[in-house]
Chains A and B, each alone.
Chain A
C-alpha cells in the first residue's frame, strides 16, 4: 500500500519509491527501502503529510508521499 493510505500514528516500513523524479531527494532525506516510518501529522485536507523517519520529522506533499510504497507494521 501507499504511504498516503496510512492513518495518523500508524507505523510502516518502506518497500520502494516508485517515482524517479522525487526519488533522489527522498532517498537523501533518508526515505530508504527497509526504513521504518510513522505518520505523525496531516495538514488540512491531508496534504502535506508529516512523518517521523530516522528520528526526525519530515514533511512531504501527498503527491510525493504517493510514490512511496509501504507495508504497515503489525501492531502487537
Chain B
C-alpha cells in the first residue's frame, strides 16, 4: 500500500480532507515512542489503495514546538510515496512557505487548495492553472463542504510529481533535507541564521509567485469574522461571553445527558434481573449479573456525558473560538506561569486529562508546557463527573430542587468545576517559582477565521473520543470490576466459608449475613487495612475499597460502590446507587455514613487526588522521565489528603 502524508498549516481544512478521503476507515494510534495521536486511514483511487497519514499542522518545516517536530521528522525519516499538501486560499502567501518547503523535499507532491469560496468573498481569486505551471505539481481546488470535488482529488494522486526546485541557496533536494535534519538536531546561532535566511529567500520568491497567481477584486462586504471579533475579543464583553458559553455548556451537558443515562440505567437493571431470573443461582451467574453486567453498565452509562462534552469542545475548537479564548486569557494565564495556549489543554482536561496532556505539545516554552502538564489533572475530567453526580445527589433530599432555570445539581457541579480551575491556577502559580526556565516563552498564534463547525469533523471527533473512553478506560473499569467481584466473593477466614454455607441454606438473615461476608472478604480486609489512614477524612472501609480500586481510574469509584452495594442488598438492586448510599447507616452509631461532612470531604478528595494511571503514563511519556509523573502523583495526593482532612474536621 502506498503511503501519502497529509501536511498543511493549522486550521487549513486538513482534517476535513482526511475525513472526506478516508470516511470511516480511520485508525487512531500512537507514534512509536511518543503519544501524539497518529491518525491514519485507508482509501482507494483508480484501482490503487492508499494509506493516508494526517500529520500535525505546522507553518514551516522548521518546528518550534514538539508536535510540529513530529511532522518534519516523519517527512524526513519515513519518506512517504506522495505528499499531499493542503493550502488555504485565503492566506496563500503564508501557506506558500510550507508548500515550497515541502516541494523542495523532492518527494512527488500535489497541492489541495481549500477555502477558495471564502477567499473569493474576500476578493481573492486564485489562478490554479498558472499555479500548477509555476510550482510544477498538480493543484486541486477543493471545497471541503462539497464532496463532488472528491473524484477530482482522487484522480489527481497518480499525477503527483516532484516539483520545481525553488531555493538555490538550499542547494538540491539532498542538501536541503540534510540542512533540515541538521537544524533539527543542532539548535544554535548558526542554524538559526541559516533558517531565517532560507525563510527570507523563500518569501522573496513567493512575492513574485503571488503576483502571478492571485487576482484581487473589489470586496463588497466585510467578512463576518471582524464583526464577531469585536464582541468576542472585547476587553470586557469577551470575558462575559466566555463565562456564559462555558456555564451554558455544563448546564446543557448535565440536563441533556440525564435522559439517556436514565434509559441506560433502567435498561441494564432490567437485563440484569431477567438474566438473574433465567440463570440458576450459582457463583458464575452471580459473576455475570453482579460482576460483569454492573461493570459494563457502569462504563456505558457515562458515554452520553462524555460524548456531549467532546461535542461542545470540538464545536468551540472547530469554529475558531478557542484560539480567541487563548488570546483573551494569555496575559492572565502568564501570571500563573502558563501560556494562553494552555487554555486548550486545560479545557480539554474537563473531558479527559490524557488527550489534554498530549495537546500541550503546541506550547513552545518548556517551562509553560511542564506546568500545564502538572496542573491539567486538577481540571474536572469527565471521569469525575459520575463520582460528582452520585455524591452531589446525596445532598438533595428531593429530586426536584431547582432555582429558576438553574438546576441545583448543575450549580453544585459548576462549583466543583470552578474549584478545579482555581486549584490548577493556584498550583501552576506555586510551580512557576520552583521550575527553572529552560526556554523562552512565546505566544505567536493565528486567529483563524470564524467558520461554521464542520459537522463531519465534530461527529468524527466525538466518536473517536467516546470510543477511546469505552475501549481504554472501559477495559480498565471492566477488569477492575471483575477483580473486585473476586475479592468480594472470597475471603481468607473460616468464618467466611461458614457464612457462605449459611447463606446458601438460610434465607431469613440474608442481609446480615451478606454484610458480615463483605466485611470478612478480601476486599473488606483491604479496606479495613487502610481505614486508620482515611478515618480522619471521614471515610469508612467501604469507601476505602473504592479509593483503592479507583486509583486506576476515578470513575471506577461508582462501579465499585454499585458492586459493593449491589452485593450487599441484592434484593433491592433496582434502587439507584445514590438512594442506597443515602440510606446507609453506621451500625455502631446509628447515624448516616454519608453525612454532609463525609460527602464534602469525599468530593474534595476526588477533586484533587491523582487517581488515573493513564494520566501518569502519559505524563511519563510526554516528559520523558519518571520525575514529573512522580511529582504529579506526590503533590496531588498530598493536596487531596490535606484538603479533605481540613474540610472534614471543620464540618464534622
Contacts and interface: CB of A to CB of B under 8 A. Distances in A.
A74 B606 CA distance: 60
Given A21-B440, A40-B226, A61-B443, A48 B331 contact: yes
Interface stretch (B86-94, B102-110, B261-269, B631-639): B86-94
Interface in A22-72: 22-30, 32, 40-45, 47-48, 50, 54-61, 64
Nearest to B226: A40
Contacts of A64: 442-444
B429 interface: no
A20 interface: yes
Contacts of A28: 59-60, 62, 97, 199
Nearest to A58: B446
Contacts of A61: 330, 442-444
Given A55-B124, A57-B447, A29 B195 contact: no
Nearest to B192: A24
A16 to B, nearest CB: 12
A55 B122 contact: yes
B227 to A, nearest CB: 12
A56 B64 contact: no
Interface in B321-378: 323, 326-328, 330-331, 340
Nearest to A22: B442
A27 B340 contact: no
A23 B447 contact: no
Given A24-B192, A55-B124, A48 B443 contact: yes
A50 B233 contact: yes
A4 B199 CA distance: 24
A24 B443 contact: no
Contact of B442 (A25, A30, A32, A50): A25
A43 B328 contact: yes
Given A20-B192, A43-B233, A59 B443 contact: yes
Given A28-B199, A48-B331, A58 B447 contact: yes
B308 to A, nearest CB: 30
Interface string A3-31: 00000000000000000111111111110
Contact of A43 (B192, B226, B235, B442): B235
- Residue among B93, B229, B340, B444 facing the most chain A CB atoms (10 A cut-off): B444
A55 B91 contact: yes
B366 to A, nearest CB: 14
Contact of A29 (B200, B233, B444): B444
B389 to A, nearest CB: 36
Given A50-B447, A56-B91, A58-B446, A27 B440 contact: no
Contacts of B396: none
Given A30-B93, A41-B233, A57-B225, A24 B196 contact: yes
Contacts of A57: 225, 229, 446-449
Nearest to B189: A20
Chain A CB within 10 Å — which of B60, B90, B331, B340 has the most?
B331
A68 to B, nearest CB: 11
B459 interface: no
A68 B328 CA distance: 21
A42 B94 CA distance: 23
Contacts of B59: 28-29
Interface in B420-447: 440, 442-447
B50 interface: no
Nearest to B97: A28
Given A20-B192, A43-B328, A45-B331, A32 B200 contact: yes
Interface in B430-477: 440, 442-449
B196 A27 contact: yes
A58 B447 CA distance: 6
Nearest to B233: A41
Given A22-B444, A30-B94, A40 B199 contact: no
Contacts of B229: 40-41, 57
Contact of B199 (A24, A45, A54, A59): A24
Contacts of A22: 442, 444
A25 B192 contact: no
B186 to A, nearest CB: 15
21 contacts: A22-B444, A24-B192, A24-B199, A25-B442, A27-B199, A28-B60, A28-B199, A29-B444, A29-B446, A43-B327, A47-B330, A47-B331, A48-B330, A48-B340, A55-B90, A56-B448, A57-B446, A59-B446, A60-B445, A61-B442, A61-B443
Interface of B: 59-60, 62, 64, 90-91, 93-94, 97, 122, 124, 189, 192, 195-196, 199-200, 203, 225-226, 229, 233, 235-236, 323, 326-328, 330-331, 340, 440, 442-449
Interface of A: 20-30, 32, 40-45, 47-48, 50, 54-61, 64
Task: Please provide the 5 A-B residue pairs with the shortest distance between their CB atoms, ordered closest to farther.
Answer: A57-B447, A28-B60, A56-B91, A44-B235, A30-B94
Given A27-B196, A29-B59, A43-B331, 16 more contacts: A24-B196, A28-B60, A29-B94, A32-B200, A43-B327, A45-B331, A54-B94, A55-B90, A56-B90, A58-B444, A58-B445, A58-B447, A59-B445, A61-B442, A64-B443, A64-B444
